[in-house]
Amino acid sequence: MRPIRGILYKLISVTMFVAMSSLVKSVSDSIPPGQAVFFRSAFALPVIIGWLAWRHELRTGLKASKPLGHFWRGLIGTSAMGMGFASLGFLPLPEVTAIGYAAPLLVVIFASMFLGEEVRAFRLTAVFVGLTGVLIVLSPRLTVDAGLSHGQALGAMLALTGAVFAALAQVTVRKLVATETTSSIVFWFSMTSLSLSLITIPFGWVMPTPGEAALLILTGLMGGIGQIFLTSSYREADASLVAPFDYASILLALAIGYWVFAEVPSRTMLLGASIVVAAGILIIWRERQLGLERQRQRKVMTPQG
């Protein structure tokens, strides 16, 4: 294990994903979300295939023991991606990022519901505190106000629903890893999202300008690179160590939102985001403590020779 390298890889992946979202936002006025998903998937594939070939994992990447499981993971994950992309057309980038933090909180609940994982009082309390933070972020967009645009309310609901689907996708992945390799999960998700995005053609695809096409191609390349570094980060360090660095994305989103899109964050949004981040880090810290406790118990129970 190389923890410093793992943290570096995680930060690179976070940067790639925030940059990708920024590019999607920059073309959201003219490019439909389904078309953005297509470019994201199509141009991530060469990067992923090249990575798998370099690691000599292309054969395992093509092998799927449970095709139906991959399909459901792809369907749920593609829905999450599409809703997230759509919300970028209505809301500031930092808000979409903050609302997306609901996903890891919801994973705790869904893992208990669908996987039978035990959820103790500490984690459950932290989840509800975090979800309260999400509601604080959402509150200005859902308040009945004559000055509130319907687009902002729609964007808020799209971002939140996208987070729900993202959490369900993570739970699906937890089930898949019991029988499938990481390379096959990454590869078949890209293939499934690419195929599903084509269904949206009748809903208004457009011919992008050369500049828009270049930005869309970059979304795919950055998405593919981000996925590779994300996977690599968990090879190099414990999940409990690198997971908190996910929250660096809010700093990047705030900076890009301000300097690129002239989006000034409100105090309400900053307060809610801070609560969500704090709750998420508490859950990760608690998981790490429990993991260390389990290791100590195993050492005690192991006969010493």
What is the residue-wise DSSP string for 2-60? -HHHHHHHHHHHHHHHHHHHHHHHHTTTTS-HHHHHHHHHHTTHHHHHHHHHHTT-HHH
274 belongs to a structural domain: no
Q: What domain count does the chain have?
A: 1
Summarised one tens digit per residue, pLDDT across range 165-181 is 999 998 998 888 888 88
138 belongs to a structural domain: no
31 belongs to a structural domain: yes
249 belongs to a structural domain: yes
278: Cα within 13 Å, side-chain hemisphere: 11
Summarised one tens digit per residue, pLDDT across range 196-211 is 999 999 998 999 999 9
The pTM (predicted TM-score) of the whole model is 0.90
User: Can you give the residue range of the structural domain that contains 222?
Assistant: 3-119+149-265
Q: What values do phi and psi take at 44, rounded to 5?
A: -80, -30
Task: Find, among 85, 120, 127, 122, the residue nearest to 106 by Cα.
Answer: 127
Identify the pLDDT of residue 64: 86
187 belongs to a structural domain: yes
Q: Is the predicted pLDDT of residue 305 greater than 50, yes or no?
A: no
275 belongs to a structural domain: no
Q: Is the predicted pLDDT of residue 284 greater than 90, yes or no?
A: no
Q: How many CB atoms lie within 10 A of CB 11?
A: 18
Cα(97)–Cα(102) distance, rounded to whole angstroms? 10
273 belongs to a structural domain: no
Question: Average per-residue pLDDT in the chain?
Answer: 88
Residue type, position 104, single letter: P
> How is residue 103 written in tokens?
């996903």
278 belongs to a structural domain: no
Summarised one tens digit per residue, pLDDT across range 86-115 is 999 999 999 999 999 999 889 889 888 888
Summarize the chain as % helix, strand, coil (round to 5). 80, 0, 20
